Structure 1
Amino acid sequence: MSLQCAPDKTITLIGLMGVGKTTVGRRLAQALDLPFRDADEEIERAAGRTVSEIFADFGETGFREGERKVIARLLQEPPMVLALGGGAFVDPETRALIKAQATSIWLTADVDTLVARVNRRDTRPLLRGKNPKTVLSELLDKRTPAYAEADVHVDAGGSSHQGTLDRIIEALKTLHQHNV
């Protein structure tokens, strides 16, 4: 199940934490024969510290500045599948860069599904010491207007990663046909 031709620009996956951007992104990259990159991993590599450490030392504002620079650099590279951190697309500068240079896919899921997924790991700085359902609900309310600007919207809740991948491939085929 592939597109007729390889994408000519990077595909970015956006959405809240726990929606499956990294897991599905790896599968999408394999299906499209593109490299996969995770923006948070690239930020950690560039900074020489973890996302949690960056948040602790520089706050969210400092993190977003570094994130914007790393994403801008990645968008200059050959096409790839790029999983973004949940807040990246909310930043107006980052969103403008992505809209100009990449195809954005918003992966959506209901809050209960996200809570179940994020509770599996304790690596989310924005959730530390807080009620995940409350935080995720607030983030969804706050970020939806920005996420809604994505080129493609795909439901990633309630089904397997393969089901999500299949929906992304179909959405990309449709987008590609409209843009030809």
Structure 2
Amino acid sequence: MTAAAGGPPAVVLVGPPGAGKSTVGRELAGHLGVTYRDTDADIEALAGKPIAEIFFDEGEPHFRDLERAAVRDALAGHDGVLSLGGGAVMDDGTRALLTGLPVIFLDVSLHDAVRRVGLDAPRPLLAVNPRQRWRELMERRRPLYTEVARVVVSTDDRTPQAVAAAVLDALQLKDA
């Protein structure tokens, strides 16, 4: 299956840090014969610096403004697999834009998130007491991830290939 040019994304991935959005997104894109796009990478390219530096230099509100614009642009102009930053769902307008789209919430436990990326990675919202902050973020975000998602797929103890296969099955998509 290949998405129509200029159409909405074939798959949109949401979830917390460490869920595997980037890895699974690339795997899915390969299976579907479409391109992969990550809004965090879009923001970094536009700003010319890593997200952590945007947070520290301009603050979270500025980053969230960039994120809203990046998500809006990607949803309108990308017909492949799209990964959103972990906090993108916090915005009411972004959640509204996701309505009716094939959104997958890649869920992960704190244990697996730590094992995959560690919580000492340059993630500004997890800089102080990362395990506690991750739990707090998930407490606020989990209801929003599930609100926008058509399907929830756990990534715990699964390979990226197994997660991609579960997503394809859930959305009834076929390999290209």
- TM-score with structure 2 length normalisation? 0.89
User: Percent of counterpart pairs with the same letter?
Assistant: 38
Q: Which runs of 5+ in 1 are unaligned?
A: none
- Are residues 114 and 78 of structure 1, via their aligned partners in 2, closer, same or farther at CA, if it must alter by over 3 Å? closer
Aligned residue for 1:106, secondary structure, equals strand
Select the residue among 136, 139, 143 that pairs with 2:137.
Answer: 139
Contact 2:68 2:88 in 1 (8 A): yes
> How many equivalent pairs are there?
169
2:46 is aligned to 46
> How far does the alpha carbon of each residue in 1:50-88 deviate from its partner, in whole angstroms, 9 at most, with x for none?
111111122222111111101111112141111111000
- Are residues 121 and 41 of structure 1, via their aligned partners in 2, closer, same or farther at CA, if it must alter by over 3 Å? farther
Supply the distance in 2 between the matched residues of 1:163 and 1:121 (Cα, whole angstroms): 27
Supply the distance in 1 between the matched residues of 2:131 and 2:116 (Cα, whole angstroms): 11
- TM-score with structure 1 length normalisation? 0.87
- Are residues 151 and 7 of structure 1, via their aligned partners in 2, closer, same or farther at CA, if it must alter by over 3 Å? farther
Report how far residue 99 of structure 1 moved.
1.8
- AA aligned to 2:30 is Q
Aligned residue for 1:82, secondary structure, equals strand
> How far does the alpha carbon of each residue in 1:13-49 deviate from its partner, in whole angstroms, 9 at most, with x for none?
0000000000110000110111101111100111122
Q: Which runs of 5+ in 2 are unaligned?
A: none
> How far does the alpha carbon of each residue in 1:82-101 deviate from its partner, in whole angstroms, 9 at most, with x for none?
1111000121111111225x
Report how far residue 121 of structure 1 moved.
6.0
Supply the distance in 1 between the matched residues of 2:167 and 2:145 (Cα, whole angstroms): 16
